[in-house]
Structure 1
Amino acid sequence: MKVEETVQILKFFLMVFNGVFLIIGLAVFGCGIWILFDSSSFVVTISDGRMKLVAGGLFVIGLVVFGVSILGYIAICNEIRFLTILYMGLLLVIFVAQLFVTFVLLLARDEVQDVVVKEVDGVIETYGMENTTNNLWDVLDSVQRHSKCCGRRNYTQWENNTFIKSLPDSENVYPCSCFKSGCPRLNSDPAQRFGNGSAIYTQGCGELIEAWIRENGYAILGMDAGLVLIQVIQFVLSLYFFWNIKRKAKQRELLQDQGYLSASNSAYTHLD
């Protein structure tokens, strides 16, 4: 196969893999944004330094992947050898950064679950207190309502709630999100978050929350593994691409030299 044809085929495959690289990189960037700034998730309330480090790492990796992908398109389209080398070097840097973030995420996996358990228990205790607001109350309501569960361990955990314990008659008092149908609201509840009745969900939400954390962790690791695989393919193709555009440049120089010699010989022949 001619060098020119090989270069064009490599261009096509590099463009495709670079596009996939860009898409996965944007997804990783989105995960970093979600962990850092989504106030509607229990994960963002975790003050654990490792989790913030993972989120920051995903955020930076996503940005760098975007920039490297653009650089790759420029280097590939224009067959610029220097930019191709720079592109391969940055792929290696991202690869090392990904290994570090993955390692930290795996180490922090159990710790994150423990911290989330404590966070949920704390929310249950302070839920509905007067003169206070907490956006995690709405998150907990959403989890209980849509997952059809009540409390973390089970419904009896709401006996630890500060507001419920302060009531003269706290029997069968639960958040409205625990009730299977309409909430029989308490007249003594100014925020109208609690009801009195027995038609409630009895299953705890703990296992569901832990499963949600695991699923999202696996999703992040899956995207990370996808990036690693794409990077390995890109690096190999880029190396082969660099070698072929170098060959192409040498062949062009040889053809120019041969053309120059032919022109010189023609000139001498004319003089003869």
Structure 2
Amino acid sequence: MGAYDEKKETCGTVCLKYLLFTFNFLFWLAGGVVMAVGIWTLTEKSDYISLLSSRIYAVSAYILILAGVIVMVTGVLGCCATFKERKQLLRVYFVLLLCIFLLEILAGVLAYIYYQQLSEELKNNLKNTMVQHYHQPNQDHVTKAVDKLQQEFKCCGSKNFSEWRESLWIRSNEATGRKVPDSCCKTPTEYCGKRDHPSNIYKVEGGCITKLENFILAHLKIIGAVGVGIASVQIVGMIFTCCLYRNLKAEPY
């Protein structure tokens, strides 16, 4: 009976090892996805971050990148801990899984919180950013972001094109008679902003606020879903780790 129990325990341990190894491989791939989403958010669309007064959007992306790096390292450690059957390594692996779990839940929560307050922030700050900082000294990043926003989303002004009349730059001699920035034009050319006729510039209902809000909300959904989704999968990994830890014989001192 004792031999049978020992054999049964060994088979259970082997099954757990392979389950945990498979999990770690998938987990390692997931880490790459998490890191890629974070990097994509910060690089591909980083210009728009300068138009936001809150840093929550950027912080959520940084958390995902950090979590992704730790996930990939942890996946390798998990494979080593599984096949070497070292309880000390399994303990370290479990703690890292728990840390990543908390980081990704934090990213998901931050994304959700910002999701709720984004609309109000854009209404309060986007117009001021555009009219006060566009083409102003040491504000090249804002100028670039506004031009990209208006061209990419085919819009002009925060809510409508007429808001550009309040712009410090438009009211200055540097604008050389422009009524809107050249990036408002359907076919951007130098000084095309002198003519604000609908045939020449974008006059979109809701302006750039609506377009930027929809864009960031879609990204926040991705950040939140990735963070919470991977965190949920990690619960399975932590359960496997605990089971394998209990099945392994105590290490000799």
Q: TM-score, normalised by structure 1?
A: 0.71
Q: Which amino acid aligns with 1:202?
A: K
Which residue in 2 is equivalent to 1:20? 26
Q: Distance in 2 between matches of 1:197 and 1:44?
A: 26
Report the secondary structure of 1:41's partner residue: helix
Identity of aligned residues (%): 23
Which residue in 1 is equivalent to 2:4? none
Q: 1:106 aligns with which of 83, 91, 112?
A: 112
Task: Write out the 4+ residue segments of structure 1 that deviate beyond 6 Å after TM superposition.
Answer: 35-39, 168-172
Q: Deviations over 1:146-165 (max 9, x none)?
A: 22211121222222222222
Q: How does 1:197-236 map to 2 (within 5 A)?
A: 197-198=196-197, 199-203=200-204, 204-236=207-239
Q: Distance in 1 between matches of 2:175 and 2:45?
A: 34
Which residue in 2 is equivalent to 1:65? 71
Closer, same or farther: CA 69–165 of 1 in aligned 2, 3 Å = same
Closer, same or farther: CA 2–60 of 1 in aligned 2, 3 Å = same
Report the secondary structure of 1:224's partner residue: helix
Q: Which amino acid aligns with 1:103?
A: V
Contact 2:37 2:64 in 1 (8 A): yes
| Greater Cα radius of gyration, structure 1 or 2 | 1
Which residue in 2 is equivalent to 1:262? none
Q: How does 1:1-272 map to 2 (within 5 A)?
A: 2-33=8-39, 40-44=46-50, 46=52, 48=54, 50-51=56-57, 53-125=59-131, 126-129=133-136, 133-166=139-172, 173-183=179-189, 185-186=190-191, 194-198=193-197, 199-203=200-204, 204-246=207-249
- For structure 1, the 5+ residue unaligned runs are 187-192, 250-272
How much has 1:171 moved relative to structure 2?
A: 8.2
Q: Distance in 1 between matches of 2:174 and 2:60?
A: 46
Q: TM-score, normalised by structure 2?
A: 0.76
Contact 1:150 1:178 in 2 (8 A): yes
Size of the aligned set, in residue pairs, is 240
Q: Distance in 1 between matches of 2:152 and 2:105?
A: 36
Closer, same or farther: CA 95–158 of 1 in aligned 2, 3 Å = same
How much has 1:50 moved relative to structure 2?
A: 4.7
Contact 1:36 1:44 in 2 (8 A): no
Contact 1:158 1:174 in 2 (8 A): yes
How much has 1:95 moved relative to structure 2?
A: 2.2
- For structure 2, the 5+ residue unaligned runs are 1-6
Closer, same or farther: CA 176–106 of 1 in aligned 2, 3 Å = same
Q: Distance in 2 between matches of 1:89 and 1:167?
A: 61
Q: Deviations over 1:190-245 (max 9, x none)?
A: xxx84435221101121110011111111111111221122111112222333444
Q: Which amino acid aligns with 1:215?
A: A
